Amino acid sequence: MNKIFESAKPQQVRLLDSEIRRRFQVNEDLLLRYQSKDLLRSYYFEAGLWKDNSENPKIEHWGWEGPTSEIRGHFVGHWLSAAAITYASDGNRELLGRAEYMLDELERCQKANGGEWIGAIPEKQLRWTEEGRNFGVPLYNLHKIIMGLIDMYVYAGNCKALEIVGHFADWFYRWVKDIPTDRMDIIMETETGGILEEWCRLYEITGEEKYQVLMEKFLRRPLFHALLENKDVLTNMHANTTIPEILGIARMYEVTGNPEYLKAVKNYWSIAVTKRGGFVTGGQTSGEVWIPPFHIRERLGKLNQEHCAVYNMMRLAEFLYQYTGDIEFENYRELNLYNGILAQQNPNTGAAAYYLPMQAGSRKIWSTEKKSFWCCCGSGIQAGASHGMGIYAENKNQIAVNQFIPSVLTSDRWERKVKITQQSGMAAKNVQKLIGINAGSVNYPEAFSVYLNIDASEAPDMTVLVRIPFWNQKDPVLLVNGEQVDYYMENSCIYIPCGSKKLEVSIFFYQALTVHEMSGCSEMIAFRHGPVVLAGMTEKDTIHGERGQIQNMLVHHNERIWGSWTREFRTTQEEVNINFKPLYEVADETYTVYFINENGE
């Protein structure tokens, strides 16, 4: 299908020094701490290639990956996916070598299982599902290894991975090809993960008929038809059951061109986001279910914002941006990047927070490396590997700079070559010149600089688009080769013609401290600086001051450390004043996001 934009691939983007690059490295280090033999233990066991009759068998992984877990083996698929994307992004040969070794061992397991089955659970779990006997979530589980194998082919170029998943698909094809629709509906009433998306990807890669059959069989038809009628089938329903399924429907649109699939996806977004509202962080779930529209206060608690839902909704936003060009989807991704993906990754260890509690006096609960293996540990390592994806999008004559993350894009598609080097933030080039042009605070500058070194000398018709972020407070300023110039703006983007040229471009946006009323409960407020949610280091749930004069409620605090500006603030009107810092910087501290604003209008 014709995309308006196509996201740049991880092979095209190299991250430069920044907090995002540091988080990517933390995640990469975490991937390398896992040992292949421990990851593969359940696969060996299922294939009859490992046994230990001692009183204390040497098993390192427990929790969801323990030998008694009904969904053991799922994390391996996430790990392979994250390893492949990480390798594509930075060329880590050690990580690639481990992944290739694991593929060799998975191939050995598959042969021991008879040449098709590659799951770490027995086939009969799927037979039980067909009979209506739910034991675990086998389709959800098996989707992960299928995904990991496909990603090893797509991002690491490993053909063996495609062969293994092809043989595994033969088992699924024989299982479901003759199952009637009513019985498939029973099977699809379980949590299926993103298995539909993977059949679509394999059909796109190979064109084999068996994948077309699998696509049609694994479509959850009741959900699809309800979405075509624009019915809210989400409220109080498990969120991350249907998000991966709608990503599968999005893929069905890409491989079939049927406009009804795209309609269903757009309606899903409208029901899930536009008509629902959400937390100041950008999330919409609590206790793993979709919150009722604009009823946030009643769901404030310990189980807000499941990480898997954040990650998959960001993927859905990326899909919709590519087919609509609507910048609101990129705004959504930015908000959830800082206040979901980063906020739910331990900044020091890479551990995952299943939920992001937002009640007063919250603390994040982090996974352990060997005894958790929650679903969000899996989506966490994938998210941590994917920071280079979605910064840029392109078509033949345009490149869109959608996220402000220091990086280098190299594109040689459509018979043209373009290279863009981006620096962004207060350290970006020309920021001091801007302050001379349009001075903000003599202390913390309100200007946020995006510097682009663009080499389009071999792209005669190229235009670069730069997103104007939702948090920008004033008209942006544009410098081209050091001179301030006027610019054309459309769809919240600045257009910069640069065909056959080399340009140095600086764009200056203006960030500020902003107050946000809770949807459906105006007495409760939260704070953001730019796109970043601020957390108060307190158990209190009240704050004083007039929200219309926010500069009198919170002031900059500890604002500069060596060469860097911080996003730290402090209240001014409390008996004991409260320090605030970015929610994504919080590790083990007690914090509060939403406050009852006493005497504030």
What residues contact residue 77 under an 8 Å CB cut-off, 6+ apart?
143, 144, 145, 146, 147, 148, 149, 378
Tell me which residue has tokens 């993927």.
Answer: 315
Q: What is the pLDDT of residues 135-179, one digit of tens each?
A: 899 999 999 999 999 999 999 999 999 999 999 999 999 999 999
Mean pLDDT, residues 213-240: 97
Report the relative pairing of strands 569-571 and 554-556 from DSSP bridges. antiparallel
**Distance in angstroms (rounded) separating the CA atoms of residues 379 and 240:** 11
Q: What does the pLDDT read at residue 495?
A: 98
Q: What does the pLDDT read at residue 53?
A: 86
3 φψ region: left (φ > 0), alpha (ψ -120 to 50), beta (else):
beta
Structure tokens at 360: 């007063």
User: Is the Cα torsion angle 367, 369, 370, 374 positive or negative in sign?
Assistant: positive
563 confidence band (pLDDT: 50, 70, 90) = confident
Nearest to 24 by CA among 347, 308, 248, 295: 347
Q: What does the pLDDT read at residue 442?
A: 57
Q: What is the pLDDT of residues 281-322, one digit of tens each?
A: 999 999 999 999 999 999 999 999 999 999 999 999 999 999
426 confidence band (pLDDT: 50, 70, 90) = low
| CA distances from residue 295 to 223, 298, 474, 517, 519 in whole angstroms, order as listed | 24, 6, 32, 13, 7
**Distance in angstroms (rounded) separating the CA atoms of residues 121 and 129:** 13
Q: Which amino acid, one-letter code, is at 423?
A: Q
Tell me which residue has tokens 């409760």.
Answer: 524
448 confidence band (pLDDT: 50, 70, 90) = very high
E-assigned strand segments in 20-107? none
**Distance in angstroms (rounded) separating the CA atoms of residues 135 and 288:** 20
Q: What does the pLDDT read at residue 548?
A: 86
Q: What does the pLDDT read at residue 54?
A: 86
pLDDT higher than threshold 90 for residue 55: no
526 φψ region: left (φ > 0), alpha (ψ -120 to 50), beta (else):
beta
Q: What does the pLDDT read at residue 439?
A: 42
Q: Which residue has the higher pLDDT, 376 or 600?
A: 376
548 by Cβ neighbours in 10 Å (0-12 / 13-18 / 19+) ranks as: exposed
* Beta-ladder partners of 49: none
**Distance in angstroms (rounded) separating the CA atoms of residues 406 and 265:** 31
Report the relative pairing of strands 392-394 and 6-7 from DSSP bridges. antiparallel
pLDDT higher than threshold 80 for residue 433: no
Cβ atoms of 399 and 411 within 8 Å: the answer is yes
Q: What is the pLDDT of residues 239-288, one digit of tens each?
A: 999 999 999 999 999 999 999 999 999 999 999 999 999 999 999 999 99
Please tell me whether residue 431 adopts helix, strand or coil conformation: helix
Please tell me whether residue 338 adopts helix, strand or coil conformation: helix
Q: What is the pLDDT of residues 195-219, one digit of tens each?
A: 999 999 999 999 999 999 999 999 9
Q: Which amino acid, one-letter code, is at 385?
A: A
Q: What does the pLDDT read at residue 2?
A: 86
pLDDT higher than threshold 90 for residue 549: no
Question: What kind and span of H or E run contains 255?
Answer: helix 239-256
Among the ranges given (15-29, 52-66, 205-219), the one the predictor scored with the smallest mean pLDDT: 52-66
**Distance in angstroms (rounded) separating the CA atoms of residues 596 and 524:** 4
Q: What does the pLDDT read at residue 52?
A: 86
| CA distances from residue 408 to 136, 417, 481, 582 in whole angstroms, order as listed | 43, 13, 19, 26
Q: What does the pLDDT read at residue 598?
A: 83
**Distance in angstroms (rounded) separating the CA atoms of residues 588 and 567:** 18
Question: What kind and span of H or E run contains 322?
Answer: helix 307-324
**Distance in angstroms (rounded) separating the CA atoms of residues 533 and 580:** 10
Q: Which residue has the higher pLDDT, 431 or 523?
A: 523
438 confidence band (pLDDT: 50, 70, 90) = very low
Nearest to 223 by CA among 269, 174, 182, 189: 189
**Distance in angstroms (rounded) separating the CA atoms of residues 406 and 485:** 23
Q: What is the pLDDT of residues 571-590, one digit of tens each?
A: 999 999 999 999 999 999 99
Cβ atoms of 492 and 327 within 8 Å: the answer is yes
552 confidence band (pLDDT: 50, 70, 90) = confident
419 by Cβ neighbours in 10 Å (0-12 / 13-18 / 19+) ranks as: middle
- Average pLDDT over the chain, rounded to an integer: 95
DSSP assignment of 530-549, as one string?
A: TTEEEEESSS--EEES-GGG
The total number of residues shown for the chain amounts to 601
Q: What does the pLDDT read at residue 440?
A: 44
**Distance in angstroms (rounded) separating the CA atoms of residues 374 and 312:** 16
Q: What is the DSSP letter of 524?
A: E
Q: Which amino acid, one-letter code, is at 586?
A: V
492 by Cβ neighbours in 10 Å (0-12 / 13-18 / 19+) ranks as: middle
Tell me which residue has tokens 């998210």.
Answer: 383
Q: Which residue has the higher pLDDT, 507 or 519?
A: 507
Nearest to 587 by CA among 385, 374, 344: 344
**Distance in angstroms (rounded) separating the CA atoms of residues 599 and 543:** 9
Q: What is the pLDDT of residues 380-421, one digit of tens each?
A: 999 999 999 999 999 999 999 999 999 999 999 999 999 999
DSSP assignment of 143-211, as one string?
A: HHHHHHHHHHHHHH--HHHHHHHHHHHHHHHHHHTT--HHHHHHHTTS--TTHHHHHHHHHHHH--HHH
The domains of the chain are located at 17-47+64-177, 394-510, 513-598
Structure tokens at 364: 């994040």
Q: What does the pLDDT read at residue 600?
A: 52
Q: What is the pLDDT of residues 103-121, one digit of tens each?
A: 999 999 999 999 999 999 9
* C-alpha of 524 from chain center: 28
Cβ atoms of 20 and 390 within 8 Å: the answer is no
Q: How crowded is the C-beta side of 156, counted as CA atoms within 13 Å? A: 29
Q: Which residues of 336-366 are buried (b: 16+ CB within 10 A; e: fewer)?
A: bbbbbbbbbbbbebbbbbbbbbbebebebeb
Q: What is the pLDDT of residues 489-513, one digit of tens each?
A: 999 999 999 999 999 999 999 999 9
Q: What does the pLDDT read at residue 601?
A: 52
Percent of the chain residues past pLDDT 90, beyond the cut: 89
486 by Cβ neighbours in 10 Å (0-12 / 13-18 / 19+) ranks as: exposed
What residues contact residue 124 under an 8 Å CB cut-off, 6+ apart?
none
Q: Which option is the CATH number for 394-510: 2.60.420, 3.90.820, 3.40.640, 3.30.70?
A: 2.60.420
Percent of the chain residues past pLDDT 70, beyond the cut: 97
**Distance in angstroms (rounded) separating the CA atoms of residues 575 and 577:** 6
Mean pLDDT, residues 542-560: 90
